[in-house]
Chain A
Amino acid sequence: MTAEVTGKVGPTGRGHIGTMAAMSSYDDESYLDFIEGLRMFALKSMNPASAKALKAEIAAGKIKSENPDISETRAVADPLPAVGIRNRMLRSTQGLNWDRIVDSYDKNRAALEQELTDAETAGPGSLRWDPDFKYPEYFTAVPYHRQPGSYHADPLGGHIYHYGTKVFHGGSNDKDEAKIERIYELPTPKDGKVEKFLDVACAIGSGTVAAKLRWPNAEIHGIELAAPLVRYAHMRATRLNADVKFSQQLAEKLDFADNTFDLIYMSTLLHEMPVAEGRKAIQEAKRVLRPGGLLVIHDMVQATTPLDIWSDYDRYFDHRFNNEPYAYKYVHSDIDSFLKAEFAEVENSVHGKTSTWNCHK
């Protein structure tokens, strides 16, 4: 299944890729296509080469401990040529990606902002947001993933994020296909009842809209902290005729009543916030989850013992050079113990770099 807009020239005058407005010029699109390819090369070729180079050093006894401190790992890994080139490539592709997207959308900024405004009162879904919303300090401290203006400070933050993630994920979700697949894989509560669904930190709402596809008769909610993202999510859902209720809310302070939802999905949120705030968000999700309901958390895999030294280095690289201020502490936070203490039953599965926790209340 896919989601896309067809037959409309859109605000850039050049149509759409899936549901996102195409770049403002053919050259911008080609430039970003190349950046996408170069990033895929960094991930598929330079990453294994770098990991292999570091493992050779470990095998040669350059790192003694099975669980080295990151400074010890860096002392060995940073000078390795393959690692340095990989790091340069990842850092450059991310910066070139953002800069070109912002420059390109800027050419049609007025039209892009207008479509957000025009969609605000459109249906079939709804949008609640507050132009004077007070963001927590941890959220405004850095522009996440180096996105210019971060998620909250540029009205086009949703547009920029959407195209940026297209390049970041190598085009694998251009028509929401990856998100739709993930939502269709979600387990349900043990009694099978899904009448109210909540997507916590829904970003641009692609998972939220996918939930409406899977459960067309359910009441589907998506909450997101950043105004540009939640406004974009609503506009996108409107284009797709999806009846979804979006609202701007803090994950750690929801305005829903206790025991409201049957199924709550919390994807890639916890690594974007301090550990203490993340735990508040989990407890808040538990509060609004009904007894017998299910919270599904999908996020970065936790650090292992003994440590996967390359993965630990890679995660720290993101912390240092891709504005992931909280991710490194998150992967070392032993979330498993916390979840087991909070929920009646927790199932965990690992899929490469990500992990899923099914938490039954």
Chain B
Amino acid sequence: MTNPKREREPLGKFAPEGINDHILHVIFELAAELWVVKRRLAEVEGAAVAKGVIESPDAIVRDDSFQFDNTDRDAFVERIFGSLKDIGAKLDTQ
């Protein structure tokens, strides 16, 4: 079976008007974090291939001895999205 047709998202159903500023802030933070990772990754991959540590980045096989700590991941999510939980019932539009 090939992929079933993607379900259309109910856009405009959930988040009310007025949160765009918050969303933009999240996107800026996210883009900055993404660039940090891409820049570092390019350096590390280049060095690893040059030294023969890996043939290519996609050849990485999952190894239980090497696990990211969920604490780091969860802190990353909190740093980016944490402001959203403080919005509560009212938007500060001042």
Q: Which residues of A contact B (CB under 8 A)?
A: 4, 6, 9, 13-17, 22, 25-27, 29, 33-34, 36-38, 40-41, 45-46, 48-49, 52-54, 56-57, 79-82, 84-85, 87-89, 91-92, 95, 99, 102-103, 106, 143, 146, 148-149, 153-156, 171, 321
Whether A102 and B15, one on each chain, are in contact in the complex, defined by CB atoms closer than 8 angstroms, is: no
Secondary structure dominating the interface of B: loop
Could you tell me the distance in whole angstroms from the C-beta of A104 to the nearest C-beta in chain B? 11
Residue interface bits B1-17, CB-to-A below 8 A is 1, else 0 = 11110110110011110
- For chain B, give the interface size range: 35 or more
Contact A37 B77, CB 8 Å, known A81-B16, A82-B88: yes
Whether B1 and A149, one on each chain, are in contact in the complex, defined by CB atoms closer than 8 angstroms, is: yes
Q: Which residues of B contact A (CB under 8 A)?
A: 1-4, 6-7, 9-10, 13-16, 18-19, 57-58, 60-64, 68, 70, 73-74, 76-78, 81-82, 84-91
Secondary structure dominating the interface of A: helix
Whether A84 and B7, one on each chain, are in contact in the complex, defined by CB atoms closer than 8 angstroms, is: no
Residues in B whose Cβ lies below 8 Å from that of A99:
6
Contact A81 B81, CB 8 Å, known A29-B62, A53-B89: no
Could you tell me the distance in whole angstroms from the C-beta of B58 to the nearest C-beta in chain A? 6
Residues in A whose Cβ lies below 8 Å from that of B16:
79-81, 84
Whether A148 and B3, one on each chain, are in contact in the complex, defined by CB atoms closer than 8 angstroms, is: yes
Distance A185 CA – B76 CA, assembled complex (angstroms): 35
Distance A321 CA – B7 CA, assembled complex (angstroms): 11
Distance A148 CA – B16 CA, assembled complex (angstroms): 28
